[in-house]
């Protein structure tokens, strides 16, 4: 009998790539291809994926961006927000019987304004959108909440368009 691959760890990352154009922050949003075998519809998201064995959340964020977009980021920001989502029955063979939830940590990285991703087989399209235009598309899971948290992260930084510093 061939050796069994190790089970997937119940940890993942979602990375929202951002750029500034005409003093406006935009987010790179991807449409994921439906995976009926996994009970997943087509939906919009940032770059996401599971941690591999021996990999940190930061390492996974960097790897997933490269794998899904062909873009290289050196040090994405961990925004200090994570959430859990339940493991669906269709995913059970990948996780085994133990874990009930996946912890997903959210990262962001600002990239060059003229950067364009190359799509992986996981996605059918991408688009740069403002927060207001992106939020209605992020209806699956906690994706809209995650992007709102990313926007909060950027809103207090000096490199954010329109930043006025703290007001006392």
Task: Flag whether pLDDT at 166 surpasses 60.
Answer: no
Mean pLDDT value of segment 28-41 = 81
**13: helix, coil or strand?**
strand
Please give the residue that has the higher pLDDT: either 4 or 32: 32
What pLDDT, in 10s, does the model give residues 53-93? 899 999 999 999 999 999 999 899 999 999 988 776 766 66
The H-assigned helical ranges of the chain are: 57-69, 92-95, 131-134, 143-155
Domain boundaries, the chain: 11-155
The structure's pTM equals: 0.85
Q: How far apart are CA 147 and CA 81, in angstroms?
A: 11
Mean pLDDT value of segment 18-43 = 86
Q: 49 to each of 59, 73, 106, 168, how far by Cα in Å?
A: 11, 16, 11, 40
Pairing state between β 101-110 and 11-21? parallel
Q: How far apart are CA 94 and CA 8, in angstroms?
A: 6
Which residues are bridge partners to 149 per DSSP? Answer: none
Task: Flag whether pLDDT at 100 surpasses 90.
Answer: no
Q: How far apart are CA 33 and CA 42, in angstroms?
A: 5
Of 75, 74, 71, 76, which Cα lies nearest the Cα of 120?
71
Task: Flag whether pLDDT at 39 surpasses 90.
Answer: no
Mean pLDDT value of segment 125-154 = 94
**% the chain with pLDDT above 90:** 58
pLDDT bin (cut points 50, 70, 90) of residue 163 is very low
Asked if 25 and 37 count as a contact pair (C-beta separation under 8 A), the reply is: no
Q: Which fold has domain 11-155?
A: Nucleoside Triphosphate Pyrophosphohydrolase (3.90.79)
């Amino acid at each position: 009998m061939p050796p069994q691959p190790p089970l997937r760890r119940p940890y993942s990352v979602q990375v929202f790539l951002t750029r500034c154009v005409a003093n406006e922050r935009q987010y790179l949003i991807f449409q994921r291809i439906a995976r009926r075998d996994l009970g997943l519809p087509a939906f919009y998201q940032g770059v996401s994926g599971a941690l591999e064995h021996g990999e940190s959340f930061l390492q996974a964020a960097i790897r997933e961006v490269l794998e899904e977009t062909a873009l290289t980021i050196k040090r994405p920001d961990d925004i200090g927000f994570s959430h859990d989502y339940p493991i669906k029955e269709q995913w059970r063979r990948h996780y085994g019987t133990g874990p009930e939830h996946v912890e997903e940590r959210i990262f962001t990285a600002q990239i060059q304004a003229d950067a364009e991703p190359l799509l992986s087989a996981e996605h059918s399209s991408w688009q740069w959108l403002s927060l207001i235009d992106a939020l209605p598309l992020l209806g699956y899971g906690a994706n809209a909440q995650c992007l709102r948290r990313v926007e909060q992260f950027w809103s207090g930084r000096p490199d954010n368009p329109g930043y006025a510093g703290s007001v006392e």
